[in-house]
Chains A and B, each alone.
Chain A
């Protein structure tokens, strides 16, 4: 299940930021992805919320600026931690 979450998160990010899979890993941050601006960040949040059927707090959503943080926050919302 944990692995599913990580894979699904990365797949959403690949789709939103239009990057090749080798450019996204658990250590990737917003600073390393060219298309990771505020608008795409919102698109990412909305896509993740739809994918997992969850809703992030606004503060949490704004501060998720690395793939690792997104995976952890998503697992937290799904009760997997």
Chain B
């Protein structure tokens, strides 16, 4: 009968990095970089936390780390009030200790000083854990329905076949054979482009050159009755600087006036050999749906120049998704859904309303 040394639970320290990395290697999951760990410890959200904020917990057996759950500090805003949120991330437990994983979840749910707990990438497994601790799914419809456009038919089809467990050469060959037909389908679908609007521009911008405009936008938007993740310049810079080369920000302008921005992230899906572009955020006051439709169409053209295989959008309220659907995108179901738990009664009451939410990949740790 197997017996293990006594397990110890404690807060993670930065010098645990190598042992945590070994744990992830052991269970064949990608681990975070040390730079990411250091970035979490510099989050602007920490200005609201006590100096003892835990960045996660580990399960220790003898000299080994056999379990890990990261805890990332985030700031949200609702009607002008700041809401300090902890986000669960990177859960891992060695197979021989799999029964002990809930001890880490308990630490997460029992932490002090936070107003809300979030898991923005809850799969079937973590959703069950979150439900047990009385967290609820975000009531934003169709979050698990990703909408996407295909720019490189062959790469995309090959990725589909690889995902369907076709051997590499057969996946490539079948994709090559079907790509022309698929290309015709995508051209026909993308033929439906909106009318051109004079004086409406979308241009690549650098966040450091847009400080005044972004601050002004955030000061206005944060007063709304919507639970927004913090989009202050400091917070956006912090997020983008974790992997600056992967982010692209586009500013939207009407007659020279800044309306808002669209933030993209490039993701290399190594096992599928696919380079995809994710719409992380669409944020601003775009005046009307027609403007936003034209801006998204312009964005599609910009993204085609980035040599990516697909452009994908996940989340966002129905009003935005409706506009994206006019481009006749493909759909796929993703196995994750965001879960939340509020600690304060006022937020517990209002969060049941779907208008309260504006969840996309910029929320929580979805795109970190």
Contact = CB atoms under 8 A, between A and B. Distances in A.
Interface of A: 27, 29-33, 36-39, 41-43, 45-46, 58-59, 61-63, 65
A32 B128 CA distance: 23
B128 A39 contact: yes
A46 B99 CA distance: 15
A31 B102 contact: no
Contact of B102 (A27, A33, A42): A42
B99 A59 contact: no
A58 B106 contact: yes
Given A29-B1, A31-B4, A43-B128, 11 more contacts: A27-B1, A31-B3, A32-B2, A33-B99, A36-B99, A38-B93, A38-B102, A38-B125, A41-B99, A45-B132, A62-B103
B229 to A, nearest CB: 28
B125 A39 contact: yes
Nearest to B91: A38
A37 B101 contact: yes
A39 B100 contact: no
B27 to A, nearest CB: 12
A38 B101 contact: yes
A42 B128 CA distance: 8
B96 interface: yes
A33 B265 CA distance: 42
Contacts of A31: 2-4, 96-97, 99
B1 to A, nearest CB: 6
A45 B133 CA distance: 12
